[in-house]
């Protein structure tokens, strides 16, 4: 009956998805294993904390696959990935969990944030040290 066509399709789709889930391939529920940098770049705060707790090196740059930040491959540290994803909460999380940010690095990120128009990130980074004046300090790599 036409009236029940929508609900019938929903029922069939639901059954199909649950059968696929039994094989670990639910179409809506795709779990992927991310490294620390990928997790930091994709707002996965819990995975970041879990990996840091297990001893992952927070200073090492890692490959970030396409689709996480944008359509390209990247090799970034977790802090850089959080910065590129424009998530001040992730930057704060990393710093709270022991990731270090030296003064030249803080200044460089603050200036990059200002140049990019990320006012919330710039303001957050400025609270972690002296006021930042951009343009006089050399860029930090």
Partner 1 sequence: MIMDAADPRPATVAEGTRWARWAQIYGAVVAAGLAFFLWRIPVQVSDSLGNLMAVASVPWGDLLRDQFASTAFFRPLLLAQTKALLDASAGHYFVVFRAFQVVQVFACVWLFVRMLRVRGGAQLAAAMVAVTVLTGSHTFAGTIREAYPINNYMTVVLCCLAAVNVQMGERSRWYSDVLVLAALTLAMGTIETGLLVWGCLFMGYVAAWRGVSRSALVIATMLVVAYFALRFVVLDVGTPNLMERSSGYGFRRLEPSELDARFGAFPYPFYAYNIVASIGTVLFSEPRGGVWILPREWRAGNAEPWMWINVVSSTLVTLLVGWYAASRTWRQRPLNWSHGQRLVWVAAAVIPVNAAISFPYTKGQIMSVGGLFFAAACYAAVAALLDAPPARPLLRLLAALVVAAIGVGWSWRVLGVQHSLLYSAFTQRNEWAHTDLWIRDHPESQRDPQVAALVEALRIQAVSRRVANPHADPSPFEKYFDSETD
Beta bridge partners of 75: 63
Among residues 5 and 141, whose Cβ is nearest to partner 1?
A: 5
Outline where 23-102 has alpha helix (H): 36-41, 45-53, 78-84, 88-96
CA–CA gap between residue 44 and residue 62 (Å, rounded): 16
Nearest approach in angstroms of CB 108 to partner 1 is: 26
Nearest approach in angstroms of CB 53 to partner 1 is: 8
Among residues 1 and 130, whose Cβ is nearest to partner 1?
A: 1
Among residues 17 and 101, whose Cβ is nearest to partner 1?
A: 17
Residues near partner 1 (CB under 8 A) are: 1-11, 13-15, 17-18, 21, 26, 28-32, 34, 38, 42-46, 48-50, 67-68, 93, 96
Nearest approach in angstroms of CB 24 to partner 1 is: 11
Q: Round to the nearest angstrom and report the end-to-end CA distance of the chain.
A: 66
Residue 132 CB-density burial (10 A; 0-12 exposed, 13-18 middle, 19+ buried): buried
């Amino acid at each position: 009956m036409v009236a029940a066509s929508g609900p019938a399709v929903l029922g069939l789709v639901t059954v199909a998805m649950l059968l696929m889930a039994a094989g670990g391939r639910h179409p809506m529920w795709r779990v992927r294993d991310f490294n620390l940098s990928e997790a930091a770049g994709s707002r996965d705060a819990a995975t970041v904390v879990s990996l840091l707790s297990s001893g992952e090196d927070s200073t090492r740059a890692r490959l970030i696959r396409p689709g996480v930040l944008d359509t390209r491959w990247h090799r970034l540290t977790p802090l850089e990935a959080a910065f590129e994803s424009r998530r001040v909460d992730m930057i704060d999380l990393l710093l709270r969990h022991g990731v270090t940010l030296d003064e030249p690095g803080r200044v460089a990120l603050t200036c990059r944030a200002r140049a990019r128009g990320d006012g919330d990130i710039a303001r957050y980074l400025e609270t972690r040290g002296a006021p930042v004046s951009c343009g006089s300090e050399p860029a930090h790599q």
